[in-house]
Amino acid sequence: MKKLALVSLAAFAAIGAAAPVLADDDRPHNREGWLSIEQISARLGGLGYTAIREIDVDDGLYEIEARNAEGRSVELKVHPKTGEVLHSERDD
């Protein structure tokens, strides 16, 4: 039983040690040159997006929940350095 517990503990430790590497591009120290949340919000407002509800970082991009010019809920993928909307899809 002890041997199984040690193997399990080692497996969890290996997974835990690998987790920061997988999420490394979302760490603050890798955000040099990124537009601030305020700058992104202002740019999106200029493009007709309103009611920006949530801004996250995922896979090195800003992921934003907002409303488009037609009032529909959308999820946006935005380039963090340029503010360009790379992808938009309805978020029903």
Residue ranges of domains in the chain, CATH in brackets: 2-90 (3.10.450.40)
Express each pLDDT in 34-80 by its tens digit: 999 999 999 999 999 998 989 999 999 999 999 999 999 999 999 99
Instruction: Say what the pTM is.
Output: 0.66
pLDDT at 57: 93
pLDDT higher than 80, residue 12? no
Burial class of 88 by CB neighbour count within 10 A (0 to 12, 13 to 18, 19+): middle
Name the one residue in this structure whose structure tokens are 């490394």. Answer: 24
**Residues 46-57 as b or e (16 or more Cβ within 10 Å = b):** eeebeebeebeb
Q: Work out the angle at residue 23's Cα, subtended by the Cα atoms of residues 80 and 68, and round it to the nearest 5 degrees.
A: 35
